[in-house]
Every structure is written in structure tokens, then in C-alpha cells.
Amino acid sequence: MLTEGHRRRRRTGRWLVAAMAAASIVPATAADARPAPAPSPAVDVRIAAPAPVSLPTAAVAMGDSFISGEGAGSYQAVVDVNGNAQGFPGWSADNSNAFFCHRSANASIQQANLPGISARFNLACSGGQPHDMANDSINRASGRTVEAQIDQLVAVSQTHDIDVVLIGLGSNNSSFTFGDAAAECAGRFVADGYIGWWEFWVPIINWITGSSSPQDPCTVNDLASAAELNTAEAETVAAVRQILQTLDQIDADGEHTVVLQDYTNPLPPDFDNKFYKESRRTDTRDKFRDLVRERYAGGCPAHRASLGPAHQFSQGLGNLVEGVHSTLSAEFPATDLVYLNVQRAFDGARLCENSNSPSGVLATPVRLMDKSGGVPTGVHLTSINGTDKLDISRIQGVCTDWFQTCQESWHPNAAGHAVLGQCLSAAVAASSDRIDCVRNPSSGAISAS
């Protein structure tokens, strides 16, 4: 069942198709002499005949952690490539386990108000990459034991009429990942605060890559260069193109809205004054352990000088998703394709943006775990008071060895996913093909236009 917003966008798309067909008999002018988009390659998926149009309606979520519900808790069992439902396998399990897709009952697809939708399917997976849309995730490095998300989408189409598809893709790719970027900035800050420049014999590591962390704040190029963002956009375009081609073949009635959502930053443009310094030391001094402990407790262990590059990174991801939308809107003019900009959806409620952080925020704080008897304790540390550099090195090593102990860090929490659900509701209902979702820092009200 489509809303009037859907119908207006679809009528516009169909008018464009008709106009393009009519234009083919009009002599071309110099202004018209532009190369046509390259034809889309065929999608190599096994597709059954379209199901009857009387099927119940469904909304489907695809992509990575910002869509799966990472950080929102209440994670549900996930069916692996062998057809087995995987519940929580324990903190010391291999991170490739399907459960660690972290598909949450509190994800935005579950919380959005979507009139006319009978069922919701969360196919997204934390850490998901463009590769994972048409290929089993486990077939790449650091993948999980789940089927290609397009194959899962095809399975949904056999029992449901797919009316809404939410896609969040691009922050993880062959060049960089969100997790690597977050671990790099946090690791550098902790290393700078805990270790003097002369203490090279006690390395603090990037808890994902396992490499030693430098002690300088992150720069833009440390997170993602312009060339890497361009490569990531090309990969994302190819993956989403395959999704759209598949939908054209499997959707029961041929009518669906596809929402491309970008990313919001869990950290503010600057910290609240409370987090500027501790014990008379700022993060520009050598060794500032008390300040590291203060910011860790608040959920934001990072240099102030890293905040600007972090927001440039987020903007770069937004530009990436907007570019995907622009390219594929031209290739699929009859598809109801919407760009959902959520970069300001957490304004005023980011980590350490207020003095009471992490209370009242919309993102999960960085939380690590210690180990005992050679395995994770199962208890996240809300404080690292009293730790020394050897303790910190051991604790960060737990995240390296068992990434599930820290992978929720710096993602939307349940309240944050509720906000993203409001944004999704607005994107589906609106007649525009671009929606900017913004939170009022004073009132907390969400506006979408």
C-alpha cells in the first residue's frame, strides 16, 4: 500500500520516462550531447517467478550497523549460511558468528511508523560492506556467516510484497571501515594520555587492527582520503544498483520506496567544558591520564583536535550516499528513490556534548571489557579509574581478540534508533526525493523537510 507521497514521486518518475522516450525523436542540441549512463550489468541472483500481488506488505532493512541496530540492544537470533538460527554464542566466540550482525528489535526499521506495512525484515549486518549485498559476507576478510543480503531479500519476496526498503551502506568498504576509524582516534587519544613519548616499550594498539597507535590526533586523511571515498562510492553504487535491479524483478506489484540513509556522528563538533581538562591538564600536554579517564567515563575518549576531522569524515560519508542517490536516480528514473540525510539528527545529544554524558545521549559510549582466566569477563567497564598503562594495553587487547566486546561503541543507542525511525517515517511519507532530518538541540524535537 503506497502513500500519496509515494504516488507523487512515482508519477514524477513515470513522467520522466515518458519525457525521455519523447525526447528520443527530437533533434539533439549541443547542450544535450552528454554521454548516457553506462548500462547496468546483469544481476547474478537466483530469482523465482514473481509472487501473487495479494501478499502481505513488508518493509526491509539492508546494509550495515547503523541499519541493523548496533548499539540498541535486544539483539535477535540470525540465521546463518547453513540455515541455523544463531543466538548469543558467548563473549569468547568467533566474531564471524551470524549473531554478531546485531540485528536489534529496537532498530529504526522496527520503530518507524509505516502505515500499511504488515511485516518488517531486518537483513542488515553490523560491519556490512557493498560486497555483502550480492555475496555471502563470510567470503571476505572479517565477514560473518550470513548469506548475501540480496539472496535474503529474494526470500522475503516469496512471502511478502516489498513496499519499503531502507539501505545504509558505504561506511565500511574495501578501503576503510567505520570501526577502524573509531578505534584509531580513540586509541591515539588513550596512547597520548597514558604513555610518555619516551615509553615506546608499552604500545597502545588500535583495538581492531592490532597495530600500534601513534599519539597524534586523527587527521582527515587518517580516516578516509578523497580517493578512498571515491572508491567507496563506486563500490556502493554498484551494490545498490544490484539491489534495485533485483527489486524490479521480484517485487510483486512493482511499487516500492527505497530510502538511502547516510550517517550521523556520535561525537559533537566540540566537547562540553567539563571535558576540556582534568587535573589542570588538557589533551595538548604530555600524559593526561585523568583526562582520559574523564572522557572514557563520558563515552568520548578522543582528542578535541580529532573532532573536526571526524565531522569531515561524516560529511564525506554523507556526500558519498548523496552521490549514490544522484547516480542511481538517473539510471532508475521510475524508481521511488529517496536520500535521507540524518547528519544532524543527533544535534545536542551527542556524547560529551553536555556535562552529564553519557546520560541523555543518543549514541552508545565507548565501552571496553577486561578479561579473567584468558576470556572476557562479560562486564563492560564504565570507568578506567586506577588503571595504568599495562592495564590499558591488556583491556584494549580484549577488543582486538574479541571484537564483539566493544563493537557497540559509538553507534546509535535504542533512543537514537527511535529518532532514526522518525526520520525514516518522514522519508517514506514525504513527496520529496530528499529529506533532511534535524534535531532541535533545545527542545529535542525532530523536523524533517
The 10s digit of each residue's pLDDT in 118-172 is 999 999 999 999 999 999 999 999 999 999 999 999 999 999 999 999 999 999 9
Helix (H/G/I), strand (E/B), else coil: 425:
helix
pLDDT at residue 109 greater than cutoff 80: yes
Rounded-to-5 percentages of helix, strand, coil across the chain: 40, 15, 45
Q: Are 303 and 190 in contact (CB under 8 A)?
A: no
- CA geometry: angle 294, 375, 88, nearest 5 deg: 90
Measured CA to CA, the distance from residue 447 to residue 449 in angstroms comes to 7
Question: At 68, is the pLDDT very low, low, confident or very high (cuts 50, 70, 90)?
Answer: very high
Helix (H/G/I), strand (E/B), else coil: 342:
strand
SS3 per-residue string spanning 158-171: CCCEEEEEEEECCC
Q: Please classify residue 183 by burial: count the beta carbons closer than 10 Å to its beta carbon, then call 0-12 exposed, 13-18 middle and 19+ buried.
A: buried
Q: Are 311 and 269 in contact (CB under 8 A)?
A: yes
Question: How many residues can be counted in the chain?
Answer: 449
Q: Is the model more confident about 7 or about 182?
A: 182
Write down the mean pLDDT value for the chain: 88
Residue 204, pLDDT score: 52
8-state DSSP, 52: P
Q: Are 218 and 151 in contact (CB under 8 A)?
A: no
Measured CA to CA, the distance from residue 275 to residue 260 in angstroms comes to 35
Residue 246, pLDDT score: 98
Q: What would the mean pLDDT of 206-226 be, rounded to a whole number?
A: 79
- CA-wise closest residue to 215 among 154, 292, 127: 292
Span of 249-253, 291-295, 404-408 with lowest mean pLDDT? 249-253
Span of 42-56, 204-218, 356-370, 415-429 with lowest mean pLDDT? 42-56
Residue 214, pLDDT score: 76
pLDDT (tens digit per residue) in 318-358: 999 999 999 999 999 999 999 999 999 999 999 999 999 99
Q: Are 207 and 179 in contact (CB under 8 A)?
A: no
Helix (H/G/I), strand (E/B), else coil: 339:
strand
pLDDT at residue 360 greater than cutoff 60: yes
Cα within 13 Å of Cα(133), Cβ side:
27
pTM of the entire predicted model: 0.88
Residue 208, pLDDT score: 53
To the question of domain 4-16+55-448 being in CATH 3.40.50.1110, the answer is yes
Q: Are 410 and 301 in contact (CB under 8 A)?
A: no
Per-domain boundaries in the chain = 4-16+55-448
| Long-range Cβ contact pairs of 153-158 (< 8 A, separation 24 or more) | 153/60, 153/62, 153/123, 153/243, 153/246, 153/247, 153/250, 154/45, 154/46, 154/47, 154/48, 154/246, 154/250, 156/58, 156/60, 156/121, 156/123, 157/50, 157/51, 157/250, 157/251, 157/252, 158/48, 158/51
Residue 4, pLDDT score: 55
Helix (H/G/I), strand (E/B), else coil: 119:
strand
Residue 15, pLDDT score: 32
